[in-house]
Amino acid sequence: MYQDEDITGVSMRLGLMLIFSLWLALLAGCDSPEPEVGEAVSTFENYQDTGDLSDLRERGYIRLLAPRFDEPSGLPRDGIPSEDYQLQAEAFVRSLNMEPRWVYADDFDQLDELLNAGSADIIVTNYSVTDTRKKTLAFSTPVNSVQEKLVIPAALADTPVSEMETLVISVPAGTAYQETAEKLARRHEHVSVEVMDSNLSDEELVAAVASGELAATIVDSNMLDILLDNQDVSNAAVAGPVVNRKRRIAWAVRKDSAELLDKINQYITSERVITSVDQPELRDWEAIQKKGVLRVITSNNPASYFMWRGELMGFDYELIRHFAKQHRLRVSVKVKESPSAMFEALQAGEGDVIAASMTHTQEREQQGWMFSKRYLEINEQLIGRADDTPLESLENLAGRAVAVSPDSAFLETLTALKQDGLAFDIITVEGVTTEQLIDAVAHGVYDLTMADSHLAAMEATYRDDIAVLYQFEPAKDIAWGLRPEQQTLKAQLDKYISRNYRGLFYNVTFNRYFKEKKTIANHVEYRITAGKEISPFDDLVKDESLKYGLDWRLITSQMYQESRFNPKARSFAGAQGLLQVMPRTGRQFGYSNLTNPQNGVEAGLAYMDWLEQRFPARLDLAEKLYFTLAAYNAGHGHVEDARRLAERIGKDPDKWFGNVEQAMLLLSKPQYARQARYGYVRGSEPVKYVREIKNRYLGYVEALGESS
């Protein structure tokens, strides 16, 4: 009934109303319940205290300080997820028989000020140790360290800094990059430093070098590989020499908190959480335990490892992390995009184990690889369209065509069938995922494809336009991949699988990914008539929406999309309540018990407001709302990835419909996802989310009248 790009007549008036309702947000800011910066938003009343550990013990709390929504600067592809720092800090506090309480700052630059003012006790985030910060703070033993590299034009590749005629290094103000650049300038007369806006991102810095706007910059090495994996950039900019081999990441306390700092250092050392930039190393169990870190090689896809609403997820990731947790190990992730690349990384000692839904095949054993016990039993399946007829036998495959990736185990199965005399065609498609091939079959691009049964089941939780036409026997094993000399690690993994396979944790996790529907059934649209309530929660939504200047009918449309007005609803990702807020998100705004309608709505609107402020003020107000809704669904990072991609492919990064939404769809494809800072996202979900909320909202306005 409603068209997104062709709203005329009443729809034009409704669009103007939407902009007017958004304008109210600018006028209603003083009514916002958003906590002040530095105010604790957990479940306790904050206080000012600058005492050392003995003073803190009297209160029973240690207050941990982090930026609100301390999201990583991208999907962790080569290191330890930043959320592990926070989990480690909570464990430290409890080891002192005290309770952790989180305090959140809206501005990263205010962390030291808040700590020294007594609003918190320990800064716990990806916090660099710099000479400037050491003047006002005391730092713990490092919990991590990263390298910094020079980014230079491709024409200067392989040129040492000492041999460059002149070099101007541009860096954001107040960052660790600035300190490194200034040290470099003091060592070399021909090097100078240009200090720029502190808000410039790593991606903007690299793009500016590639375009010639900047002569050089400095970026963390773990982000640089991602940012340079882009043909437009890599042809013009390259990674230069390492300019800081060990930039330390540590916790920070007040300078006079000597007793607290001593306890922190003892804990960090005893828990073996000290890490450094990992050099390739062939390790077995003893070396892994000594380091305290399990290096996991995986793939960025919906079954293994991805980010959704700021949370790291994936069946393989959750299972191997559960194993690591039982052995008090942290997980460091190394992302590779294909089975061959994963095995190469394992052989090179870049990781300790492959956890990526890897099929245990005879061919891979013959190549010298070792596998754990199976943690998943799957069957290969032929996938066709929902209206296709199931194959009674493989003889019915004659005359048909099956599309598969040449790097998959499916090619081995199909090749054996052809050698047995079956007359069908094999179409090899480079650089595609199972998800993409299933989607292509559903849309008639290919006749058939193959999928492992668990991945086919996962797709079936999102869609109903595909069908399993044939299942191959016998079943195959999914296992963790190892080098043949890692016998002790294999024994530990096998022991874990024996204890946990089909146990409670395993079953709950398996069902979340492969059985539970990811969307709530919507067979009949929620109908309303003039003078009637839209939902049982209209009064609540009206009151809370007004605080943020949002149209309550829009939020009600969003609520229907999220929960179908069921306050007890829970998503596969763990979101809860009427507006499906993630528990951690709720806590960051001071809300728990999100299935309580009042709490769920207040937390959801606070999060909407926070997301809206993350987008540039120059955006058209209606467009800003579309971006905010998309970010609410998928996460702010994925939307920013889509905006950057939209600009790269010639679309308008400031418009959603027909522009950024098209880029969002591309982020489920490996060639685009691996260049995106936040990696893979099932782009069809936020696209559908924004479109349906908008159309339903327009329907509500039309039914209720513009004065409602």
Q: Which residues are catalytic?
A: 562
Report the DSSP beta bridge partners of residue 138: 253
The DSSP output letter for 449 is E
Q: What three-state secondary structure class fits 40?
A: strand
HEC per residue, 399-443 = CCEEEECCCCCHHHHHHHHHHCCCCCEEEECCCCCHHHHHHHHHC
Cβ atoms of residues 74 and 679 within 8 Å? yes
Report the 10 Å Cβ neighbour count for 41: 22
Q: Which two tokens mark 680?
A: 């893979």
DSSP letters for 670-689? HHHHTTSTT----THHHHHH
Dihedral sign, CA of 486, 491, 493, 494?
A: positive
DSSP letters for 603-623? HHHHHHHHHHTTS-TTS-HHH
d(CA 594, CA 603): 8
d(CA 640, CA 528): 35
CA–CA distance from 472 to each of 360, 394, 450, 677 (Å)? 16, 9, 10, 38
Q: What values do phi and psi take at 665, rounded to 5? A: -65, -30
Instruction: Look at residues 382, 380, 295, 386 and name the one whose alpha carbon lies nearest to residue 345.
Output: 295
Q: What values do phi and psi take at 630, rounded to 5? A: -60, -40
Q: Which two tokens mark 162?
A: 């000492």
To which H or E segment does residue 287 belong? helix 285-291
User: Taking the chain, what is the end-to-end CA distance rounded to the nearest angstrom?
Assistant: 21
Cβ atoms of residues 141 and 250 within 8 Å? yes
Left, alpha or beta for 593 (phi > 0: left; psi -120 to 50: alpha)? left
Instruction: Look at residues 458, 457, 501 and name the one whose alpha carbon lies nearest to residue 480.
Output: 501
Residue entry with tokens 């062709």: 6
